[in-house]
A and B are shown apart, each in its own frame.
Chain A
Amino acid sequence: MSERPGAELARRPLHFFLVADCSGSMAAAGKMAALNTAIREVLPHLAETSTRNPHAQVLVRAIRFGTGAAWHIEDPTDPETLAWQDLRAAGYTDLGAAIALMRAALTVPPMEERALAPAIVLVSDGQPTDDFDEELDALLALPWGARSVRMAVAIGHDADYDSLSRFIGNPLLEPVTAANPEQLVHALRWASTHVSRAASTLAPAGPPPAMIATAYTPRAGEEAVW
């Protein structure tokens, strides 16, 4: 067989965005520490998802939001090589600012023509304190924003489920919940796997485990910290 015409082939980029709530309330009851731990637990799973996918290369970015929003990881990064730096909690819950930041990343360029649908996971424990609705509408007005696959993780009973559901934008899906650190690991892992698989058009990740489903009620022996 002769050489294949054209330049090098490559798996298509799958941009994974983690949007993390770093508001002051996240400092309570060890939520921020639990989130940092959960992210470190989930990164190897993302790396495995990327490695085992023959046609998608997962690239991770992260946005933190409190009073305003900022890139925590700005460059698309291979999850296998990503060294996670701890997030710190302080300020308000400016989720709209985070969405605005992500919107800039989902324009063309910098988004590649050949990219797969972006995968976005939002983690929050409270209510947005800025113009989240307006910013979400603007995000969804972008072709890549509309194409993105989104999931949300609600931490504790104070999370704004309506906003998180609106962020997901799929009437068949609700936010997954975490009432303690263990559940946060499960919820973040499931959410990350779900959006990555859906964005790369592999078979769906299946329904979330009962322990992190929205209708979850702590059973005897289970701890509800948040």
Chain B
Amino acid sequence: MTATWTATAASERGSAHTEGVGNQDAVGSRTVTVGAAATPVLLVAVSDGHGGRRYVRSQAGSRLAVAAGLDALENAVRSCDVLGRHDASAATRRGELDTALRAAAADATQRWRVAVLAHLAATPFSEAERVSAGNALDRDPLTAYGSTLLFCLASGDWLGFAQLGDGDVVVRARGSSRSPVPGDERLVAGATTSLCLPDPVSDFRYAVLAPEDDIDLVLLATDGYGNAFASDQWRDDVVADIGAHVERNGHPSLAAELPGWLSDSARIGGDDVTVAVLVRQRTQAATMATAPLQRPAALGGTAPVAPTLPASRPSASRRGNRRTKVFFAMIIAGVVLGVAAALAALSRSDPPVVPPPKPSQTVEPSQVPSPLPRSRSAAQPPVPKPVPPPTITVPAVPSQRVSQGPASRGAPSGSATQVVVGPR
């Protein structure tokens, strides 16, 4: 069996923004192929431009951060030998992925700085920007572009994350959610680390997740998403509900609905809201061989905005016990069938060799051979065939799209002020 990943994303401007201030979040993705086997790797980056008055260019800063993050991650991935091989040990693979993420973080930081200075040279600060920022722009122009950066790679059953600043990485494993990236105790009271600080590389935090972690859903979000929930225990409900939605309705439905959901969060929480969802699927290797990656995973960042739902709309997580019972029944069935499949796999001396993908016209998200057959896949209900949402505008691999939410939707505002740890 082969693990594949489909990404869907959206970004909405916060209701607290003052007139003329656009969405300061950005999100982008691309898929690259590495190694002789042309192993596809899905890359996703999310950035949150700071909302304070000093950060007059943070809308550009977040866009540049996403581009820098994807470029750096692509470079690192192409240099990461283990991603293109299936014979590397788990320890080797984990170590090299960690190294690649750290190299990407350093490279992204440098790329962002170069891009910011180029942007500034092409577009000098206006007098209005100087007044807004308190005339400190020339001493420290990077601050005006201050942004966070969060990026991840997904390749088969391996995942890697690097995070600078606030925001959330939430993964689902066997029905439970967790946050794999280590926390940063400095990120309280709206303070965040940032690309505009003197040594951002040292502030990145990392996580590598292996096949045994059994991750089937990843949610990347700027802090505006979590801050809109009444309870800080929102992560369990969200990943469970999104996973169930995709299983019931498929990815096109998620891409269609996500902007509307985020619009609610942006209206009530006030801050810009960006979410990228990566969902794993299991497909037969034979199918994968004839249906290789043709273009990057879908990103819904510019998807049409669905009508805003009332704030009182009931949560999907409170729909009663029926779904929970069904879920547990599926889990039990999965365990039984999984044990059987695992025993069958262990009876073989070598892992199956999955042929590399061949070109075809089939549109599929990243599809990666799994080093070992996954028992879970045998027990999972059929997953709808992923069809990219209608908003894809990205050409064939490798490609990139950096999207930001609508820049002028008419809402008033000034997103929740973000204070950078360090210079204030």
Contacts and interface: CB of A to CB of B under 8 A. Distances in A.
Interface of A: 1-12, 54-56, 108, 111-114, 116-117, 142-144, 146-147, 200-203
Nearest to A203: B18
Contact of B232 (A3, A112, A146): A112
17 contacts: A1-B257, A1-B306, A1-B309, A2-B253, A3-B315, A5-B240, A6-B229, A6-B241, A8-B230, A10-B268, A11-B268, A55-B269, A144-B189, A200-B16, A202-B18, A203-B412, A203-B414
B270 A9 contact: no
Given A55-B268, A201-B414, A10 B230 contact: yes
- Considering the complex of A and B, which 3 residue pairs feature the smallest CB-CB distances, nearest first? A55-B270, A5-B241, A10-B230
A2 B416 contact: no
Interface string B411-424: 01111110100001
Contacts of A5: 237-238, 240-242, 245, 261, 315-317
B230 A7 contact: yes
Nearest to A56: B270
B190 interface: yes
A78 to B, nearest CB: 15
Contact of A7 (B188, B237, B253, B309): B237
A113 B232 contact: yes
A147 B229 contact: no
A81 B228 CA distance: 24
B115 to A, nearest CB: 27
Interface of B: 14-16, 18, 51, 188-191, 226-234, 237-238, 240-242, 245, 249, 253, 257, 260-261, 264-265, 267-270, 306-307, 309, 311, 313-319, 412-417, 419, 424
Given A9-B230, A108-B188, 14 more contacts: A4-B309, A5-B240, A6-B234, A10-B228, A10-B268, A11-B268, A11-B269, A55-B268, A108-B189, A144-B189, A201-B416, A201-B417, A202-B18, A203-B412
B179 to A, nearest CB: 13
Contacts of B189: 108, 111, 117, 142-144, 146-147
B314 A9 contact: no
Contacts of B230: 7-10
Nearest to A116: B416
Nearest to B19: A203
A147 B419 contact: yes
Contacts of A4: 260-261, 264, 309, 313, 315-316
A12 B386 CA distance: 36
